[in-house]
C-alpha cells in the first residue's frame, strides 16, 4: 500500500471515530495526524520577530481556531521505558560539588522530584524510587497544558507547533477534550510521531490502540494523587496557573511528596520546583535556590537566551524577569502563609511599576 493510500485509510478511520464522538469531519484529520498547514510563512515571520511579544493564552483566549492547533500524535515515552528521563530528587546527592551550607539548607526536607513525562511503567518506577524516601502521600503534579494520556502503556500527546495546541483553553476544556479522546481511542488506529527533536509528518507511524487512559485515571490506579496545573510550554506560567500551585501548597499535608513533570522535565518542571523551593525556604537568596535546582539536574530558570532562538528570546527574558518578581512575592508574603494570591500581588505591583508580563 502506497503512502497516499495509507493516508486515506487512516483518515477514513479518523472520520468514523470523530463522528462517533460528536466531532465534525474537519477534526478527523487532526485526530488521524494528517498533514496540515499549521502556520503560514507570513505568520511565522511576525511571531518570530524579536520585537513582537505575545502571550498565546491571552491572544487566543476562547478562540475557535489558532495557528497552533494540535495536528499530530506524538510518542512521549515508550512502553518499555521503566524510569522517566531527566529524573532528579532533592533527596539525591548533588551532581556537582558546591561549597557553602546554604546550598543544602532545607533541600532534603523539600520532598520534591521532577522528570520528563513518564510512561505507565515509568510511573511505577518513579513511585518505587520515591517510596525509598517517604511513606506520605505522593502527588503527581502534571504541568502539561497539551492534551495527553496513555495508549497501550505508552505516553502520547497531541502536538501542535511550539507545543501550543491548547493555548487559550481553560482547564475544564482541556480535561473534557482529554477524557473524550482517550475514552474512544481503544480499537482505533492513529498515526504517531516517534520520539525525536522534531515532530515530522513524514515520520508518522500507525499505532493500533488496544487500551487507553488519561493520566488521572492511571495515577489513581497506582495509588497516588493527581493535580493538573496546565502550564504553557516555553513561556512563564500565567498568573492563575501559579495561583493554583500556591493554593495547593497551602493545603498540603506535612508529609507530602510532590513529583513535578512536564514534557521534557526541564523548563516548566524546573520553574515550578524552584518556586516551590522559594516558598519553603524564603530565608535563602534567590540565586542559591536557582543554582541548586540547576545542580540537581534542572534548567537555569533565569537564563535570558543567547540570540540563537529568535522567537524564544522574549520568553527567556520574561522568565528571568518573572522569577525575580516571584521571589519578591515570597519575601513579602511568606509570613502570612501566602494568603494573598500571586495574581493579586502582581496586579498591584504592575499598577506601580508598569507591565511585567508579555501580553
**CA separation for the pair 216, 230 (Å, rounded):** 13
**CA separation for the pair 8, 194 (Å, rounded):** 21
Eight-class DSSP state of 103: G
Name the grid cell of 316: 527567556
Name the grid cell of 195: 520520539
| Highest-confidence segment of 13-22, 211-220, 301-310 | 211-220
**CA separation for the pair 175, 332 (Å, rounded):** 34
Torsion of CA 38, 55, 226, 85, to 10 degrees: 70
Residue corresponding to grid cell 481511542: 185
The band of 20, judged by pLDDT with boundaries at 50, 70 and 90, is very low
Instruction: Evaluate if residue 23 carries a pLDDT over 60.
Output: no
CATH classification number, 3-79+147-214, choose in 2.60.120.1600, 3.30.70.1690, 3.40.35.10, 3.40.1710.10: 3.30.70.1690
| Greatest Cα-to-Cα distance within the chain, rounded to the nearest angstrom | 67
Handedness of CA 63, 52, 232, 157 (dihedral sign): positive
Residue corresponding to grid cell 515520520: 203
**CA separation for the pair 312, 53 (Å, rounded):** 10
Tens digit of each residue's pLDDT (9 = 90 or more) over 263-301: 999 999 999 999 999 999 999 999 999 999 999 999 999
CB within 8 Å of 27: residues ≥ 6 apart = 18
In the chain, what are the domain boundaries?
Answer: 3-79+147-214, 88-145+216-353
**CA separation for the pair 181, 165 (Å, rounded):** 14
Mean pLDDT over the full length of the chain: 87
The least confident of 41-45, 158-162, 179-183, 194-198 is 41-45
| Three-state DSSP class for residue 19 | helix
Tens digit of each residue's pLDDT (9 = 90 or more) over 191-229: 999 876 578 777 899 999 999 999 999 999 999 999 999
**CA separation for the pair 101, 285 (Å, rounded):** 12
**CA separation for the pair 144, 198 (Å, rounded):** 18
Instruction: Evaluate if residue 8 carries a pLDDT over 50.
Output: no
Burial (CB < 10 A; 0-12, 13-18, 19+), residue 320, is middle
DSSP line for 180-240: HHHHS-TT-EEEEEPSSSS--GGG-EEEE-S-EE-HHHHHHHHT-EEEEEEEPTTSPPPHH
Q: pLDDT above 70 covers what percent of the chain?
A: 83
Instruction: Evaluate if residue 354 carries a pLDDT over 70.
Output: yes
CATH classification number, 88-145+216-353, choose in 3.30.360.10, 3.90.190.10, 3.40.30.10, 3.30.70.1290: 3.90.190.10
> Looking at residue 101, what is its pLDDT?
73
> Looking at residue 306, what is its pLDDT?
82
Amino acid at each position: 500500500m502506497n503512502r497516499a493510500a495509507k493516508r486515506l485509510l487512516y483518515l477514513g478511520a479518523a472520520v468514523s471515530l470523530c463522528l462517533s464522538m460528536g466531532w465534525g469531519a474537519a477534526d478527523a484529520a487532526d485526530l488521524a495526524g494528517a498533514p496540515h498547514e499549521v502556520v503560514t510563512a507570513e505568520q511565522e515571520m511576525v511571531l518570530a520577530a524579536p520585537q513582537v511579544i505575545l502571550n498565546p493564552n491571552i491572544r487566543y483566549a476562547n478562540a475557535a481556531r489558532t495557528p497552533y492547533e494540535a495536528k499530530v500524535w506524538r510518542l512521549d515515552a515508550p512502553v518499555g521505558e521503566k524510569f522517566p528521563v531527566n529524573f532528579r530528587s532533592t533527596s539525591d546527592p548533588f551532581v556537582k560539588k558546591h561549597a557553602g551550607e546554604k546550598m543544602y539548607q532545607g533541600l532534603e526536607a523539600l520532598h520534591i522530584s521532577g522528570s520528563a513525562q513518564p510512561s505507565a511503567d515509568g510511573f511505577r518506577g518513579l513511585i518505587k524510587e520515591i517510596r525509598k524516601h517517604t511513606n506520605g502521600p505522593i502527588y503527581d503534579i502534571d504541568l502539561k497544558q497539551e492534551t495527553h494520556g496513555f495508549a497501550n502503556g505508552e505516553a502520547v500527546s497531541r502536538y501542535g507547533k511550539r507545543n501550543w495546541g491548547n493555548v487559550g483553553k481553560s482547564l475544564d476544556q482541556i480535561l473534557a477534550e482529554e477524557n473524550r479522546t482517550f475514552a474512544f481511542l481503544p480499537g482505533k488506529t492513529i498515526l504517531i510521531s516517534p520520539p525525536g527533536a522534531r515532530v515530522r509528518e513524514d515520520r508518522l507511524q500507525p499505532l493500533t490502540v488496544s487500551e487507553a487512559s488519561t493520566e488521572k485515571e492511571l495515577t489513581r490506579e497506582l495509588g497516588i494523587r493527581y493535580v493538573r496545573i496546565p502550564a504553557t510550554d516555553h513561556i512563564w506560567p500565567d498568573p492563575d496557573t501559579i495561583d493554583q500551585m500556591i493554593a495547593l501548597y497551602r493545603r498540603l499535608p506535612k508529609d507530602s511528596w510532590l513529583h513535578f513533570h512536564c514534557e521534557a522535565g526541564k523548563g516548566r518542571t524546573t520553574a515550578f520546583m524552584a518556586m516551590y523551593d522559594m516558598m519553603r525556604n524564603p530565608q535563602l537568596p534567590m540565586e542559591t535556590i536557582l543554582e541548586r535546582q540547576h545542580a540537581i539536574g534542572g534548567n537555569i530558570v533565569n537564563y535570558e537566551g543567547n540570540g540563537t532562538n529568535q522567537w524564544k528570546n522574549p520568553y527567556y527574558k520574561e522568565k528571568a524577569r518573572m522569577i525575580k518578581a516571584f521571589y519578591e512575592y515570597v519575601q513579602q508574603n511568606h509570613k502570612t502563609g501566602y494568603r494573598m494570591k500571586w495574581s493579586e500581588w502582581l496586579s498591584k505591583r504592575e499598577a506601580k511599576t508598569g507591565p511585567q508580563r508579555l501580553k
